[in-house]
Amino acid sequence: MLAPAAVAQPNAPLRLDRDRFTVIGYPSDEQLMRSLLGAAVERDSFPWLPRPRARVVIAVAPDERRFREWIGPAAPEWGAAIAFPAQRTIIMQGRAAGSDAGDPRVVLRHELAHLALEEVLGDLPPRWFHEGYASVAAGEWGREEVLATSVALLLRGMPTLDSLNATFDGSAPRADAAYALAHRAVAELAALDPERGLTLFVGYWLETRSMEVAIRRAFGVTQAQFEERWRQRTRRQYGALAIVADLSLAAALLMTIVVPLYLARRRRDRRRLEVMRAADAAAERAARESALAALLGEEEGARGAPGARGAQGADEPGASTP
């Protein structure tokens, strides 16, 4: 993140110096401070830019309260670090930072890239280019993942590059999308020259102090043509993914509604079937009992008939025969 406002240097009790870097902080963060210092020294060059020469101070805040005190009220609540180009200073959270603060070495690399870009081009780059370049230089390729599930990309469409400048200090979700789009814009611009990337472009920009002229000279296209290419390619690649993600979310939501209703209906149908089977069994049992009763009634009637008794009496002893 890039901050325009000034900041007072914190009076820290521990200081580490190496090459052009000074790291200050508290003893509780000494291990982190040494790790950050080593990472800064080992990777002290940035793509397409001359090697930086200016000294840099890296202040590690021991807790959230002092981090907020040092960076001032202008920074957003979700920020994990901030660079102050005018003072060549970076303030970042220490070991007490939450998991959402990210890898501190990657965060530091991002902020150092801001300072390296400002050392070469000064105030020429707009905010979207500053953030996009710092993200690319830090290797934050995972940022584009947020575009795959961006509902805003579907509802509002692709923004313009200039409109991104106002969204970096907004809410965390909007800022994440802005960082991702800026990252993709700078990566797309560098891809126009696979061999030299932004090397010629940076030189022309510094010479002419015009991004439009630098893009024309370095890549043979206008700034408007590049922006249209960026918008179309991003919409083509991530708009479809966002639709799929949105449909997947809708399908999951539908399943949470439909499955319980389906199971409830199956239970209801099962109980209804059991009642019907019981009713059928009762009807069959009643019919069977009725048939037996009727059969028994016929047998009783046959035994009590007059013809049947006379025939029986003719065979009795003493009865006369014709």
Q: What is the pTM of this model?
A: 0.71
| Pairwise CA distance, residues 1 & 114, whole Å | 8
Predicted confidence at residue 236, as pLDDT, reads 82
Is 1-121 CATH 3.40.30.160? yes
Highest mean pLDDT among 93-97, 134-138, 141-145: 134-138
Q: State percent of the chain over pLDDT 90.
A: 51
Residue 132 has pLDDT above 60, yes or no: yes
Amino acid 221: pLDDT? 97
The structural domains of the chain, with segments of one domain joined by +, span 1-121, 124-250
Sign of torsion, CA 285 287 292 294? positive
User: 130 CB contacts (<8 Å, ≥6 apart)?
Assistant: 2, 114, 117, 118
**Residue 217 pLDDT more than 90?**
yes
* Closest by Cα among 280, 109, 188, 81 to 272: 280
pLDDT at 155: 57
pLDDT in tens, 163-212: 999 888 878 888 888 999 999 999 999 999 999 999 999 999 999 999 99
DSSP 103: -
* 51 or 277, higher pLDDT: 51
